[in-house]
Structure 1
Amino acid sequence: MLKHKTLIKTPSIIVVMLLLSACATSPTGRSQFVMMPKSQMVVMGVQSFQQLQDETPLVKERAMTTYVQCVAQAIIDLPSVQKASPDWEVQVFDDDAVNAFALPGGKIGVNKGLLKVARSADQLAAVLGHEVGHVLARHGNERVSQQFAVGQAMTLIESWMAANNTAYRQTAMAALGVGAKVGVLLPFGRTQESESDEIGQDLMARAGFDPRASVTLWQNMAQLNSKQPAEFLSTHPSHKNRIKDLQSNMSRALALYDKAQAAGRTPSCRTPGTAK
């Protein structure tokens, strides 16, 4: 019995030490759990981006790439974004799926299908600001850290159950799995998405893009996909709640937009006629 306790106690202490050393604060002031070194996240981001480029062709329309890079550059030039990564790479993938992403290490990817929904430079800036917001707020690190912590906790509980010869081990583990996903991982997903909406709206406004376009973008998204899962079991806020939150932050965003315009930040990115 003592042997089992010793085996379980040692990893428990290690996990507790990791948890205590992983406390951080996001750009919005939210407490975070991030335990992965920045250098490791950068390596993961760069490798993932390279893999995507190996698997998915880039668009051949130069005008489309120039347009997306123009919008992205206005956001990339912001001091807070430069601080996260001084060198950014922006690529447009020949994929009709409505999607975009930003990765640690300064990588931004946009599917050409996104331009069917983000129909103006301002709307595209809302998407790119949101994706860059994930990087600035270290959401990727937070997600990896959460998964590591949950995995370690489940391993410890499994060891405890084995040591105590619990008859209900499989049932308890199944219940913990559901509890972990609903109680820890999914709510953080919604929180991260909402936080990136706020950060992204501020970023686009600081870059000189009209933040009101962020609301229009999500109205377009709502029209594209009117059938959503219940918000409680979704990693993303509902379109309705997303729009409501963006509108509640609009006064501050418009003030940042006016300030950017006064400072001469007026991006001029021509929408390509090839975005169909």
Structure 2
Amino acid sequence: MKKKCSLYLLSLLMLAGCSSVPLTGRKQLLLVSNQEVLSSSLTQYNDYIKTAQKSTNAAQTAMVVRVGKNIAAATEQYLRNNGLASEIQEFSWEFNLVKSDEVNAFCMPGGKIVVYEGLMKLVSSDDELAVVLGHEVAHAVAKHSNERISQQMLTQYGAQLLGQSLSGKSQMIQSVASTVYGIGSQYGVTLPFSRKHESEADYMGLVLMTMAGYNPDKAVTFWQKMSASSGGKVPEFMSTHPSDARRISDIQKDLPAIKAKFGKK
């Protein structure tokens, strides 16, 4: 009987929390409100940014801000054009270049974007940087953090206990979010999304950079260069993604349709 009740409660939770990802239409389970996720992630981000040392490289910093703002503008325009204008208020864009040799970048919910100097060593143009920033912004637009937190809550607490806890879930969300965001040291920021999320962000990132006026063909050469420089090892911030070869193959398959549909006419 208890098992049946748990399954019934789980079905209700999944029905109530069902949402769709912009651009792909994939159904996803979101058990917490966007405001709760934004509040939790902002706490994590602020703790991180207090200890992070911002880059003194003015040219590279300006590049990150320039490309980031262009992709953000294209993202907001897409949301307006597709009946999702209300979601724009969830974003408060911020772009930082951090002094670190790590090949890393991330975008927290709400549009807080950080790029590490180590990544910039492999970036030779705005188009190549747009490949990375488009991917990171896509995670935020697709609410992958919310989905990840929701999945973690189900795993950690179970359907029955989760249902009992939802009325006072803020503290629970803070606890789960700390695990999801993985902020454990001065530069140790990771958001371990699933391979499904990473592949989806790859596709959405290509669309966003294309709409922003960047050349999506550069994604192929960028990842080829990234793969060669890392000896085939996937960078930490993409560690749950399929292999470089698989990513490049998927990008090559998606490019013709993306350029035809979203490219500047």
Q: Same fold (TM over 0.5)?
A: yes
Deviation at residue 109 of structure 1 after TM alignment: 0.7
Is 1:29 aligned with 2:25? yes
Is 1:49 aligned with 2:45? yes
1:220 counterpart residue number: 225
Change (3 A) 1:22 1:215: same
Q: Which of 233, 237, 240 is residue 242 of structure 2 equivalent to?
A: 237
Is 1:67 aligned with 2:63? yes
1:52 corresponds to which letter in structure 2?
Y
2:132 corresponds to which letter in structure 1?
V
Deviation at residue 57 of structure 1 after TM alignment: 0.7
8 Å Cα contact 1:72-1:90 kept in structure 2: yes
8 Å Cα contact 2:96-2:115 kept in structure 1: yes
2-structure distance, mates of 1:251, 1:11: 46
Change (3 A) 1:217 1:63: same
The structure number with the bigger radius of gyration is: 1
1-structure distance, mates of 2:154, 2:251: 32
1:80 counterpart residue number: 78
1:1-276 mapped onto 2 (5 Å cutoff): 14-27=9-22, 28-78=24-74, 79-80=77-78, 83-84=87-88, 85-153=90-158, 189-228=194-233, 235-256=240-261, 258-259=263-264, 262=265
Deviation at residue 250 of structure 1 after TM alignment: 0.8
1-structure distance, mates of 2:231, 2:252: 20
Deviation at residue 256 of structure 1 after TM alignment: 5.0
User: How many aligned positions are there?
Assistant: 221
1:30 corresponds to which letter in structure 2?
R
1:72-131 deviations in whole A, cap 9, x for unaligned? 111011213684445311111111101111111221111111111222110100100000
1:50 corresponds to which letter in structure 2?
N
1:126 corresponds to which letter in structure 2?
V
1-structure distance, mates of 2:132, 2:35: 26
Change (3 A) 1:112 1:257: farther
Deviation at residue 220 of structure 1 after TM alignment: 1.6
Kindly, what percent of the aligned residue pairs are identical? 35
1-structure distance, mates of 2:233, 2:120: 21
- Structure 1: stretches of 5+ with no match in the other structure: 157-187, 263-276
1:143-164 deviations in whole A, cap 9, x for unaligned? 11111111123997xxxxxxxx
Deviation at residue 216 of structure 1 after TM alignment: 1.3
8 Å Cα contact 2:9-2:159 kept in structure 1: no
> Aligned with 1:249: secondary structure?
helix
1:200-250 deviations in whole A, cap 9, x for unaligned? 001001101000111111112211223448xxxx72111011001111111
Question: Which range is displaced more, 128-137 or 53-62?
Answer: 53-62
Question: Which range is displaced more, 116-125 or 191-200?
Answer: 116-125
Supply the RMSD in Å over aligned alpha carbons: 2.6
> Aligned with 1:92: secondary structure?
strand
2-structure distance, mates of 1:25, 1:148: 19
2-structure distance, mates of 1:254, 1:10: 49
8 Å Cα contact 2:54-2:98 kept in structure 1: yes
